Structure 1
Amino acid sequence: MALDQITLSHFRNHAETRIEGTRQFNLLVGENGAGKTNVLEAISLFAPGRGLRRAALAEMAGSSGDGGMAIGSSLRAEADQEPVRLGSYSKAANPGRRLVRINGSETSAIALGEWLSIGWLTPAMDRLFTDSAGARRRFIDRMALALDPLHARHATRYEAALRERNRLLGDEREPEAAWLDGVEAQLAEHGAALAAGRAGLISRLMEELATLPPQPFARPALSYLAGGPIIREDLAAALRSNRAKDRAASRTLTGPHRDELGVAMEGKQAPAASCSTGEQKAMLIAIVLAHAGLAARGRPNLLLLDEVAAHLDPIRREALFERLRDSGAQVWMTGTEIGPFAAIRDEAAVWRVEDGKLTPL
């Protein structure tokens, strides 16, 4: 068991919603626009980051409230343990600031990652392999964060140092070497840790993918394409030697902000971007399942799957459900009808979603 007694208050079209009686499989069924994905988005805010839609907090606040929103849940890792109460919310006075509470105490969003791991797959992710390199970096970082909460701290500090270095490089006057030395020291420290986390993740994913049957899902081959040196001292040296070139470009051209995730169809050796949409979907599901297998070790693990079953044939659906049973994750899935979930209907908690209201079935 992972999450139960979930509450949504003034979150998008959910004025006051309470979800109880969760199981390993949890199904949200309803028409498009009923509020199914909104529930998944709310649950995704029990992880560090911006949630599965990457939306601004102000967009999440429902029109029924005063401009703030709140999400709460009880987390129970073991049946004999006292539940941990998690809260993620914003206030009308500052709707862009996310606040987090764990057992009633204010803390940071990063602390949520110490309690549970959350991953997700949404229809928007279907274009991951043809999207920008930045989208794939965010994909890598989210998976790395689910395994190591400190990854978020390195990513945040690296981005802050990168913005400062780019600002200095863009000044009309040449910046003082001492200022650049200090900023580049931070870039090298956190950039090396960021790159190491990404590279380690991909290595572990490849090991986990090797345990997945190649059928009915594809087995992708992953590679880490570094945007610069990944050793701290080497990255610091590269930043220092590239100052003139970076100043001419008014931006930093070396570092993990230029990393790329390489994905190919194993056996065909075809880049994912050139594969069919069906093959891309199969590879993406395989990656998400492999990551769920890694994330389930050591902490409660949640997997949020938005409209995934409807686009799979019966053989692939059954294979997906079987793998999810064995994953140890608490799974949340959405669909417009119950039919595609017939194989797990008797073991699932099911709710009908209509206009932001949930009815148990």
Structure 2
Amino acid sequence: MADVRVARLNRLSLTNFRNYASLDLDLAAQLVAFVGANGTGKTNILEAVSYLTAGRGLRRANLADITCKQVQEGGWSVASKVDQDGLDVSIGTGLKQNEAGRRVRIDGVDQRTSDSLLDYVRILWLIPAMDGLFTGPGSDRRRFLDRLTLSLNPAHGRQVSSFEKALRQRNRLLEQGGSASYLTAVEQQVAELGTSVALSRRETVSLLQGTLSEQAELGLPFPIAGLELTGDFEAETEGLSASDQEDHFRKLLEDGRPRDRAAGRTLTGPHLSDLHVRHTAKDMPASQSSTGEQKALLIGLILAHADLSASVSGLTPILLLDEVAAHLDPNRREALFARLDALGCQVFMTGTDESLFESLPIPSQIFAIEDGKARLLSV
């Protein structure tokens, strides 16, 4: 990938994070695996890495709950050295005692928001909690799509947050009988922000579908997904320019005030959109595919998006794959590892047994996790 910066963590330090009072890892490989029994803290390491970018981490946990139970106070921190094609940058984040939000530092300088980390690290993940993505509520798929979009458009997370805040404000005004002029002003905000969110999501779906089509030519043993952003808002605004979409949304909001007031919520808009996924080879919804096929579809999506993220952002993402190898036969595991190696992304994986990673390309690193410590098994 020409003109793409390679971002890798070459050191990771955890303090008072989950079951780790202190953990320091020297990372010298593109592909890194953590092995050990269930409950030893393998996923906790991946969660720590997930806080080195914008957002709420892969578990979306209450920040105060992350502090090591052995300490119970004082907060927690995650720090890393990031190598971008030979340029080292120190990044870190954490929670100080009696503070509500996490702090972020880059080369020792405090940052206003975690969005600043996106200049140095883009992180994608696939965890067991996502196994029901295709059969669960639409809110889960919207959140998944927004995470994919964030790695392509760093402003997207802030837009979604502002859109949701404006929606809540409109709902309160409807409930409390706010004036028409005040509602009009708030609905203008909702329409502007909602249209921006919808356009960013549509672009991500379009770009990702193109990358999935290219991935089909690689002959990987993972089914190719067909993607479509669906919902009443998408159907009503399809083919409209951005300004026309915004005008249409604003009119829908104005006309829908009596209905929305009675319902206690806004009943139209991109906050109700859904990501429809199909198993293209079988021409069937992913939700009707077998559990194994759904897992394979997800893996294919993440692989395609890692490729897309690198080409659009100019920065290779870091992938977090929790317990991904356990659900694959040896041939698919070998194909997955080979594809990850070819993508050039740094990847952190977990598994209960070292044998799951015997087909990792050389050089890779495997750490055994036990009693809050990491022991290097092989390189």
- Which of the five TM-score ranges fits, normalised by the shorter chain? over 0.9
Question: Is it true that 1:350 corresponds to 2:344 in the alignment?
Answer: no
Q: State the SS of the aligned residue for 1:319.
A: helix
Q: Does 1:194 align with 2:194?
A: no
Residue of structure 2 in register with 1:211 after alignment = 214
* Aligned match for 1:129, one of 126, 134, 148: 134
- Take 1:338 and 1:206, find their aligned partners in 2: how far apart are those partners? 35
Residue in 2 that maps onto 1:250: 264
* Structure-1 residue corresponding to 2:170: 165
**Structure 2: which amino acid aligns with 1:317?**
R
Q: Which residue of 2 aligns with 1:8?
A: 14
Query: d(CA) in 1 for partners of 2:281 and 2:11?
Result: 45
Matched, 1:74 2:81: yes
Unaligned residue ranges in structure 1 (runs of 5+) = none
Matched to 1:69, the amino acid is W
Aligned to 1:57: 63
Out of 266, 282, 286, which is 2:296 matched to? Answer: 282
The equivalent of 2:279 in structure 1 is 265
Listed as ranges, the matches of 1:40-51 within 5 Å are 40-51=46-57
What are the within-5 Å matches in structure 2 for residues 10-49 of structure 1?
Answer: 10-49=16-55
Residue of structure 1 equivalent to 2:321? 305
Deviates more, 1:176-185 or 1:7-16: 176-185
* C-alpha distance in 2 between matches for 1:109 and 1:288: 23
Q: Deviations over 1:273-305 (max 9, x none)?
A: 111111111111111111111122311410000
Residue type at the aligned position of 1:134: S
Q: Hey, what does 1:140 align to over in structure 2? A: 145
CA distance in structure 1 between the partners assigned to 2:316 and 2:305 by the alignment: 13
Instruction: Count matched residues.
Output: 356
Deviations 1:296-336 (CA, angstroms, capped at 9, x unpaired): 23114100000001110011111111111111210000111
Please give the per-residue CA displacement for 1:164-188, whole angstroms capped at 9, x wherever unaligned: 11111122xx320111112111111
Question: Does residue 103 of structure 1 match 2:107?
Answer: yes
Stretches of 4+ aligned residues off by more than 4 angstroms = none
Equivalent residue number for residue 241 of structure 2: none
CA distance in 1, matches of 2:222, 2:338: 13
Structure 2: gaps spanning 5 or more residues: 1-6, 238-244
Aligned residue for 2:346?
330
TM-score normalised to structure 2 length: 0.91
**Shift of the alpha carbon at 1:242?**
1.1
Give the CA deviation at 1:67: 4.0
1:236 aligns with 2:250: yes
**Contact 1:137–1:259, Cα closer than 8 Å, also in 2:** yes
How far residue 5 of structure 1 moved from its aligned partner, in angstroms, is 1.4
Secondary structure of 1:63's counterpart equals coil
What TM-score, normalized to structure 1?
A: 0.95
1:284 aligned partner, one-letter code: L
Q: Which residue of 2 aligns with 1:184?
A: 187
CA–CA distance in 2 between the matches of 1:327 and 1:227?
37
Q: How far has the Cα of 1:64 moved from its partner?
A: 3.0
Greater shift, 40-49 or 57-66, is seen at 57-66
1:117 CA drift (Å): 0.9
| Partner-residue secondary structure (3-state), 1:129 | coil
Give the C-alpha shift of residue 215 in structure 1.
4.4
- Which SS does the other structure have where 1:140 is aligned? helix
Q: Is the 8 A contact 2:260 2:267 kept in 1?
A: yes
Paired with 1:355 and 1:147, the residues of 2 have a C-alpha distance of 38
Q: Give me the whole-angstrom Cα distance separating, in 2, the residues matched to 1:356 and 1:180.
A: 54
**Counterpart contact for 1:303–1:329, Cα < 8 Å:** yes
2:85 maps to amino acid: E
Q: Which residue of 2 aligns with 1:295?
A: 309
Cα displacement string for residues 66-119 of structure 1 (whole angstroms, at most 9, x for unaligned residues)? 24000001111112x2x111111001122x311111111111111112222100
SS at match of 2:215: coil
Aligned-partner Cα distance in 2 for 1:7–1:227:
47
Task: Name the CA distance, whole Å, in 2 between partners of 1:351 and 1:55.
Answer: 25
| Residue type at the aligned position of 1:189 | E
Map of 1:317 onto structure 2: 333
The alignment-based identity, stated in percent, is 43
Q: CA deviation at 1:346?
A: 3.5
Distance 1:314 1:211 in 2: 25
